Each structure stands twice: as structure tokens, then as C-alpha cells.
Amino acid sequence: MTKSELIDAIAARGQLTKARAELVVNCVFDAMTEALQRGEGIEIRGFGSFTVRPYKPYDGRNPRTGQPVPVPAKRLPFFKVGKELKELVNASRGRQLIDDDDDDDDDDDPST
Amino acid sequence: MTKADIVQAVYTRLGGFSKKESADLVDLVFETMKETLGRGEKIKISGFGNFVLRDKRQRQGRNPQTGEPIVITERRVLNFKASQLLKQALNDKPGTETPSEKPFADALIPKD
């Protein structure tokens, strides 16, 4: 499921126009992003919680050249699955994983 | 931040929804995501991150408290992979410019 499919589902189930549903979905993720930016955690009961973890600077290495590369201090988001969702996901084990595309890593950048 | 704060954001920022409608819509967003993950389907929210499912085989583990060897049964787990944009949002310090942004910013300033 992509964000636009989530928007379609909210529009259908909530009886909204797609434009309205899009505003709702964007507002939810915007509010969450802003909380994390403030360094604030997010707790959604039954779903999970997001926290911001600080990382110290360290000396990394360019894997291709072996050259040392300083990695600056950074903050990264971390998600802990809630108990209910964890159990729900595990209970789906009998079903095949739905992986309708092969671009898993589209949001990935190996440098971070 | 809790779900109530997200409801408040939807209520005040979007307009046109009552508090009850805002709460129902926010619930619907998380419920829809839960159901999707609960049927073994991953979710990709561009700009925020991906919720990905993985099947783990049974493996040998240890009780960290007692050191006793135990069998960790096979299971399906949920991981969150933050998007590059979210990672950037957590590390951009307002008011400080990264060097790579400067030439571009300068180019936007009229010369005369």
C-alpha cells in the first residue's frame, strides 16, 4: 500500500472526497514529523511508538576506497511496534507477504 | 504526542471537520494501516517512511538474564524504515545553512 492507496482507502471508508482525504492523511504525517523534529516521541496505542535517538559522531569509512569519512552527530527516528500490531502481524504469518513491487529501497541511501 | 494531539492538528488545521469527525478520521488512518499490515502487506508513505514486513526463521537465542539457551520461534515482524526526507527533517537545524545549499541560494538572489 502506498500513500495514495491509503488516501483512496480513507476517502472510500470515511466517505470523503479524495482531495479531503489527502489533506487528512498529509496532516497526520505532517503533525508526526513535526513532533519528531521537536525531539518529541509519538505514542499511538495499539499501533506503536516513535522516538528520536541521538547518535554520536564517529569516523566511518568509504566502503569503496577505504578512506576514513567523518560521520557527524545525527538524530534518527526509531519505531517500536505496539503489542497489538505485533501480534496482528505475526498472526498473518500463514499468508503470503504482499510485496507488489521490487523497489524496496527507493527511500534508502546507504550513506546514512 | 498522542493520537489526541494528531486529532487536534486535523481539527484546527483543516477546518470543516468536527472534533468527533477529526477523531474518527485519525482512527481510520491508523486502523487502515493496521489492517493492511495485518494481511501481510507493507506500507510506503513517501516523505515519511516504509513499514515493511519480514519473515524470520526459527533460531537459537539466549535469555539475556540467565544465559540459558532458548529457541526463538519463527515469526513475522514489522520494521519501520524512515525516509531520507524524514531523516533530513530531524537533522536540519533551522537558521544554519549547509554549505551545499549556499551556491543555490545565492543564485536565487537577483544580482542588481
Helix (H, G, I), strand (E, B) or coil at A4: helix
Select from B29, B83, B19 the least CA-distant residue to B51.
Answer: B83
Q: Tell me which residue in B3, B40, B80 faces A92 most closely, judged by beta carbons.
A: B40
In a domain, residue B5? The reply is yes
- How is A28-73 classified by DSSP, letter by letter? HHHHHHHHHHTT--EEETTTEEEEEEEE--EEEE-TTT--EEEE--
pLDDT band at residue A110 under the 50/70/90 scheme: very low
In a domain, residue B111? The reply is no
Residues in a beta bridge with A91: none
Return all residues near A41 (Cβ < 8 A) that are at least 6 apart.
Answer: A35, A49, A50, A51, A52, B1
Q: Are B58 and B73 in contact (CB under 8 A)?
A: yes
Return all residues near B68 (Cβ < 8 A) that are at least 6 apart.
Answer: B62
pLDDT band at residue A98 under the 50/70/90 scheme: confident
Helices (H), chain B: 3-14, 19-38, 84-91, 102-108
Give the rounded percent of residues in chain A with a pLDDT score beyond 70.
Answer: 88
Domain that includes residue B32, residue range: 1-38
Helix (H, G, I), strand (E, B) or coil at B30: helix
Question: Three cell numbers at A7?
Answer: 488516501
Question: Three cell numbers at A54?
Answer: 541521538
Length of chain B: 112
Q: What rounded mean pLDDT belongs to chain A?
A: 90
CATH level 2 (architecture), domain A42-105: Irregular (4.10)
**What would the mean pLDDT of A86-97 be, rounded to a whole number?**
93
Interface of B with A in 28-67 (CB under 8 A): 28-30, 32-34, 36-53, 55
Write the pLDDT tens digit of every residue in A57-75: 999 999 999 999 999 999 9
In a domain, residue B64? The reply is no
Domain positions in chain A: 1-40, 42-105
In a domain, residue B21? The reply is yes
* B contacts of A35 (beta carbons < 8 Å): 1, 5
* A contacts of B87 (beta carbons < 8 Å): 74, 76-77, 112
What's the domain count of chain B? 1
**Model confidence at B56: pLDDT above 60:** yes
